[in-house]
Amino acid sequence: MKHILYFAGYRMVVMRWESNAFTGIAEFEPDDKGFTAFENLLSREIKAPVKLLVDIIEEDFRLDKTPRLYGKDRAAIQKRIINKYFRQYPHTHLQVQTREKTGRRDDIVLISALTNAKLFQPWVDLLHKHKVALQGIYSLPLVGEALLKPLNAAHRDALVISQQIPGNLRQSFYAKGKLKLSRLAPGGDDSVSHYEVMRDETERTIRYLENQHYVDNNRKLNVYVIAPSSEHQQLNNILISDTRKQYHIIDKDHLAFELGIKSPTTNRYSNWLFAHLLLAEKYRKPHYGTHQDKRYFYHEQARRGIYATAAITLLVASVWSLSMLLDSYLLSNERKKMADETTKYNRLYDDIVKGISDLNLNVNNVRDAVDTAETLQEKYNTSPLEFMQTISRGLDQHPQIAIKKIRWLSTQDSGHSFGETKKPLDKRMLRAIQMGRKTLSYEKVLVEALVTDYNGNPRIAVERVNEFIDDLKAQQKADTIDVVKLPFDVDPASRMVGQGLDTSGRRKNTDAQFAFVMVKEQEI
């Protein structure tokens, strides 16, 4: 339920609004009994912010022009022009309506003020006493601008006449949808004199508009009279259109239906219509109201802001918590998956370690071998890897062969030898080398080994050496493989030529030792 306060200079009227319909009205006289009843209503029923709609004779309107400025300069010139007309009044309002079409194209502004705030101040004080938030004070003639669209008068000059309380007629002149002038004219005491007074006051207002050049004498002024259907016959008999004006008698209840008011208004007056227009424009800025008048409304806004911030914080925290729970669930599943993977690879690692543990490898020796291979690769841009792989595969197939010593060399010196038989060069290659067009690089490895299991039979030892060398040749990882020493070699002509071999001339090899050289030749 919403409440709107309507003040016409004497008594306070409270209208109740619910489900797009007015559901009740309460009137309070400006005396002790009325103030007490108003306080009871405030404490019992009104909790939400309220709007105060004023329709008093002590509201003055002025039109003026200001230069087109922006920012602080705009605010300063507007303050100056307000002080020009209404310096002593705290309840003022300035509305920029349009711009001049020629010259400096100044802003045309409407300045208005409530010149007797003492009329409604006791009611505002009671609102403050009960901490009821006053959203603002609104001018009925200015709210009436929203009435022009349903009257089809938004783009024309229009004089709108309505009656909100007995004995007064509100006459507001609008040009192209903007208020230019509004006055409260007296009404008659009875129905007959009321219509005659309306006619006479309307004529007076039209003459004033013509004298002030608000209207064009060459065009008819549209006059809209809002009244209940029961009065239309009398109004049509008294209000006669002519060359200066065109009367439009508007049915109050039909207009209420056009505005969307579900329930018909309960009396002949039109204050309901303007109250509905004010409620319909939810975000309309107040026309009047000092900071002191609206202090509890500011408190209400701050309270709502805190609640909204708390709600948003709670929502964000909830979303974040859900996100964290989801991440936790996903991480838990990922951790389980990683644990399974770790178990799997640990098992594979254990199997591999178990498989290589029989080789009786020394970790330090393995590390030294890796470091040596990296050093060779860096210095010679090559390494004995392929030779080592060939020999390793040969040893896999012949477990009776054991390696004692390996020497590896990368050189461009064709004369260097480990005792192997030199491969002769053809004449074309020899000529190209001599002329410097080609260079040969030799990668050599000298391997000293022995046969560990041959049952003391030299023939078996020699056969196993030959089988081992044949398998190495089958892998084709070297250009030549040349045996430079056989076990149990008793040939007097046999000797070892090269570095690192036993050349003492012993004729008997009791350990079944042998040696061979692997050579790989390439052009660079």
The Cα–Cα gap between 174 and 98 comes to 13
Amino acid (1-letter code) at residue 135? Q
> Which residue from 513, 444, 453 is spatially nearest to 482, judged by alpha carbons?
444
Amino acid (1-letter code) at residue 477? K
- Orientation angle between helical segments 458-475 and 385-397, nearest 10 degrees: 130
- Orientation angle between helical segments 271-280 and 252-259, nearest 10 degrees: 10
> Which residue from 91, 89, 506 is spatially nearest to 287, judged by alpha carbons?
91
Three-class SS string for 319-340? HHHHHHHHHHHHHHHHHHHHHH
115 within 8 A of 86, measured Cβ to Cβ: yes
Question: What value, to the nearest 5°, has the Cα angle with vertex 143 and ends 139 and 148?
Answer: 145
Question: What value, to the nearest 5°, has the Cα angle with vertex 333 and ends 327 and 339?
Answer: 130
- pLDDT tens over the chain, length 524 residues: 889 999 999 999 999 888 777 778 899 999 999 999 999 999 998 988 999 999 999 999 999 999 988 999 999 999 999 999 999 999 999 999 999 888 888 999 999 999 999 999 999 999 999 999 999 999 999 999 999 999 999 888 999 999 998 888 999 999 999 999 999 988 766 666 888 899 999 999 999 999 988 888 788 899 999 999 888 999 999 999 998 999 999 999 888 888 888 766 667 888 889 999 998 888 889 999 999 999 999 998 899 899 999 999 999 999 999 999 998 898 988 888 898 888 888 888 887 767 665 556 665 666 766 777 677 667 666 778 888 888 888 898 899 999 999 998 888 877 788 888 777 776 777 776 667 667 778 888 899 999 988 888 888 889 999 999 899 888 876 788 888 888 875 454 444 333 344 444 444 445 789 999 998 888 77
Listed in order, strand segments (DSSP E) in 10-103 are: 12-18, 21-28, 50-54, 59-66, 92-99
pLDDT recorded at residue 500: 40
The Cα–Cα gap between 53 and 272 comes to 11
pLDDT recorded at residue 21: 75
- How would you class 330 by CB atoms within 10 Å of its CB: exposed for 0-12, middle for 13-18, buried for 19 or more? exposed
Structure tokens given for 110: 């409407």
- Distance set, CA 127 to CA 13, 121, 212, 486 (Å): 14, 10, 41, 122
Neighbours of 123 (CB within 10 A): 19
pLDDT recorded at residue 327: 87
- Distance set, CA 363 to CA 315, 368, 371, 385, 407 (Å): 60, 9, 12, 19, 21
Pairing of strands 2-7, 12-18: antiparallel
- Residue 401 DSSP SS3: strand
63 within 8 A of 180, measured Cβ to Cβ: yes
pLDDT recorded at residue 505: 44
Structure tokens given for 227: 């009244």
> Which residue from 241, 222, 252, 59 is spatially nearest to 139, judged by alpha carbons?
59
Residues ≥6 apart with Cβ < 8 Å to 78: 66, 94, 109
The Cα–Cα gap between 270 and 162 comes to 6
- How would you class 216 by CB atoms within 10 Å of its CB: exposed for 0-12, middle for 13-18, buried for 19 or more? exposed
pLDDT recorded at residue 498: 38
pLDDT recorded at residue 503: 45
pLDDT recorded at residue 453: 85
